[in-house]
Amino acid sequence: MSARIIDGKAFAAQVREKVAAHVARLKEVQGITPGLAVVLVGDDPASEVYVRNKGKQTLEVGMNSYEHKLPAETSEAELLALIERLNADPEVHGILVQLPLPGHLNSDLVINSIDPAKDVDGFHISNVGLLGTGQKAMVPCTPLGCLMMLRDQLGSLSGLNAVVVGRSNIVGKPMAQLLLGDSCTVTIAHSRTKDLAAVCRRADILVAAVGRAEMIPGDWIKPGATVIDVGINRIERGGKKKLVGDVHFESAAAVAGAITPVPGGVGPMTIACLLANTVTACCRANGLREPEGLTA
Ligand code: GUN
């Protein structure tokens, strides 16, 4: 194995420390405590775990956490009324509606009812448009975390060939926009791309976000490339349950210059970036200087 292993857990801890330091300063100097409201509809067990972790980490960095748990049969009107209240609440700087929502609720309508300035997920159509036109936006947490790790590994990304495998609204598309913003030459590839192997082999930066276990083997990777694996796939091997990424780790690590493991790579960065976005939203709402190194 030759690649440097990018320790996402340690990096996320550093991001949380920066957030905590900024929160402490906001409290001391301005008397403001950033607040994050998380809305969960229904009782999906995986979503409950995510929401619990988000609330715990929000409190750990010194911010206020407001959890709103609503029953699965909540009507769209009730949910929209809650969001309207949160939009108007000056103590709430960030709002996150945990997805997926129960089937009778229109996710696009719900997400687009959040005040874009409080949309810490960066999913509101206004933030998508702002990011796409290179303006100041709230940026989706997972791609923001990937960008932070890439800048930390490589310094300037200017002129590098970046290939993003996956075209989701949550990861692939915003990731491509962020890399373009840092002057990479960007290709978005996906499961239908012709000769995906050849496309991947051109990548100085390879971001894998397709959701297929170990789909990208080492011989698709350019020697020395930086590989960011966003995939989290549960598989069973030798009778044991295991988490793997979209990249075949062992073969890729033999070729790459640096690589994120699964677990312990991109995963821990997502909530850290949610906290970073909340403190950024709080600063913007109050006309204050934004924290350095925590934004795109
Ligand atoms: N469900 C799984 N990941 C996410 C996320 O990043 N944001 C929201 N709102 N819901 C999710």
Residues 85-132 have pLDDT tens digits of: 999 999 999 999 999 999 999 999 999 999 999 999 999 999 999 999
Whether 24 and 284 have beta carbons less than 8 Å apart is answered as: no
What's the pLDDT score for residue 173? 98
Task: Please tell me whether 239 is known to bind a ligand.
Answer: no
Task: Please tell me whether 168 is known to bind a ligand.
Answer: yes
Whether 91 and 64 have beta carbons less than 8 Å apart is answered as: yes
User: Does residue 211 have a pLDDT over 80?
Assistant: yes
Quick one: CATH architecture of 31-117? 3-Layer(aba) Sandwich (3.40)
Q: How would you class 104 by CB atoms within 10 Å of its CB: exposed for 0-12, middle for 13-18, buried for 19 or more? A: exposed
Which among 228, 97, 100, 99 is positioned nearest to 160, based on CA atoms?
Answer: 228
What's the pLDDT score for residue 1? 66
What's the pLDDT score for residue 125? 98
Ligand 1 geometric centre to CA of 98 (Å): 5
Question: Does the model's pTM come out above 0.95?
Answer: yes
User: Residue whose CA is closest, atom 9 of ligand 1?
Assistant: 98
To the question of domain 141-268 being in CATH 3.30.70.330, the answer is no
Residue to probe by mutation, ligand 1, list 170, 266, 278, most atoms within 8 Å of CB: 170
User: Does residue 271 have a pLDDT over 70?
Assistant: yes
Whether 228 and 208 have beta carbons less than 8 Å apart is answered as: yes
What's the pLDDT score for residue 249? 98
Task: Please tell me whether 132 is known to bind a ligand.
Answer: no
User: Does residue 84 have a pLDDT over 90?
Assistant: yes
Residues of the chain with CATH 3.40.50.720: 141-268
User: Does residue 166 have a pLDDT over 80?
Assistant: yes
Residue to probe by mutation, ligand 1, list 47, 48, 50, 269, most atoms within 8 Å of CB: 50
Binding-site residues, ligand 1, Cβ < 6 A = 96-99, 121, 141
Residues of the chain with CATH 3.40.50.10860: 31-117
User: Does residue 16 have a pLDDT over 70?
Assistant: yes
